[in-house]
Amino acid sequence: MTPVKITAPFTKEAVKGLKAGQEVLLSGVIFTARDAAHKKMSDMVKKGRRIPLNLRDAVIYYAGPAPAPGKMAIGSCGPTTSSRMDPFTPELIKLGIGGMIGKGGRSEEVRKAIKKSGCVYFLAYGGLGALAATKVKSARAILFRELGPEAVYRLEVKDFPLIVGIDPKGKDVYEKAGWKKE
């Protein structure tokens, strides 16, 4: 089956037909954010402060890029374990994010939030950070620079290979494969 090509940011309407397990090639602008950045954003929301980043329809990639070698835009840029972001994810989904990229399963609370909002969770190929980096055309730290590789980076990507992990209807590729959650 040929991968579906989509562009980020995207509306919920643009991805409503995606199905768990489907291959996707994503192009456009995405933002990296790992544990420390998620905590900072969550703390801002809890204090009633505005996050200085428009998350409406945005895609967040759970990654902390390595320094760029040579003429590349970025160094190795593989996904981190998504469940570490689960305590913060429902709150960010309420802010209107369109999608997330990471690796591994998600909590029931996150899956329900995805289904309720119509956003999507993508799986990036673990262990292929160097390959993922070749799909990044530009990278720039834009928020929480003091966090180094855990800062929020704005990435422009072209044909970034992904799999739909949880589709907008809440169908989970791990459940589809018969894996039981503990």
Q: What is the DSSP letter of 101?
A: E
Compute the distance between CA of residue 119 and CA of residue 117 in angstroms, rounded to an integer.
Answer: 6
Secondary structure of 36-75 as H, E, C letters: HHHHHHHHHHHCCCCCCCCCCCCEEECCCCCCCCCCCCCC
| DSSP 3-state of 179 | coil
Closest CA to 41 of 33, 30, 82: 33
Sign of CA dihedral 27, 45, 169, 128: positive
Closest CA to 77 of 23, 165, 156, 176: 156
Active-site residue 38, yes or no? yes
| DSSP 3-state of 106 | coil
Among residues 34, 37, 38, 103, the one annotated as catalytic is 38
Catalytic positions: 38
